[in-house]
Structure 1
């Protein structure tokens, strides 16, 4: 089994999900007492979140690139950035290491194609919904991701940073996000495009196909590890 390197802490809540998913997948695929071979660096999210808010993406990329180098030196044979938004700097991270950076949008596109969704609703941070880095990568695979209206994007961004990233799960916020989904027109699927969304809503609560990016990323990583 190959060793996976995880850049976590963005947030700690979803990094715990990555750890759980990867170990469960190893056990399911190999049986018995098998678990995933992992090296993990978990950053302090507050300074990085401040960089995001200020638009200091180059500095953020340098920070994650250094963490990727540490993981590679510790034996990682592939790197996972355990957050959707920070794939904005995936190219900078990849330039810093020889190990492949397994891109979360590629894993998401694979799952969307598998369930036949070509026009999914993207639920994510404002950065992921409004910047081109994520939707363009999906578009290259023939997927036209749509985003909520401006007011809903702002509300969802606040729910993610002020609540989910801090371990707060609030029923009114869940209801608000379900209403956002209900207002979307012409969609044929939903992307949980923030690694914390699955903490708030279960795919079973929706009638449309759902791709939870945290799980899709973990599955793609385990494919690599066992490939």
Structure 2
């Protein structure tokens, strides 16, 4: 598969992920929506099935839609390292575009919301207790679970041109949705579980640039945590997988 094709499918998949993920948080946070105050479980479900939709769309490129997955696959020797930059670039750009489209879908609700200073969480993550090293550890653990499960999922094999394909048994990519929902329910409380640098960075940039009246800070001082934590977690999962005996 060419780099242009990889970029296209990863861009489309990650844009869909961010559109649905940011969309469900907007539905819960903004006041004049049918989902207002829907709670943490609704957000988890929305993000989980956002992953399902995005991964299904990005299936031709291996459905990474997450730089941590890309790094994990490369560390596990399932993806050539020279493919990593094109995957990551497409993922960040796609997440940015998806977040912008989510904003446009909720433009009227943003315009009539009475607490726009606290809307950053619609786009990106933040800690409930700001201790960045501990927050990073939380992101490492959550991402490790995700990527290690992907690497061990039934049917995983290298496809054409070394692009990994994952069977995930009979559930297909819906299985990933359940893993993401489970991680959010179990490990998402401290940091909002980015477990995906693109999912956090692209929408954070969008929030910084969008013309949201009275918006708050993009919190760039924290932004490295949901980048470094997931990348380390993904790499550790890949290295452990590589060290395991071949079944």
The TM-score range, normalised by the shorter chain, is 0.3 to 0.5
TM-score, scaled to structure 1: 0.34
Where is the helix percentage greater, Structure 1 or Structure 2?
A: 2
Greater relative CO, 1 or 2 (CA 8 Å, sep 6+): 2
Where is the strand percentage greater, Structure 1 or Structure 2?
A: 1
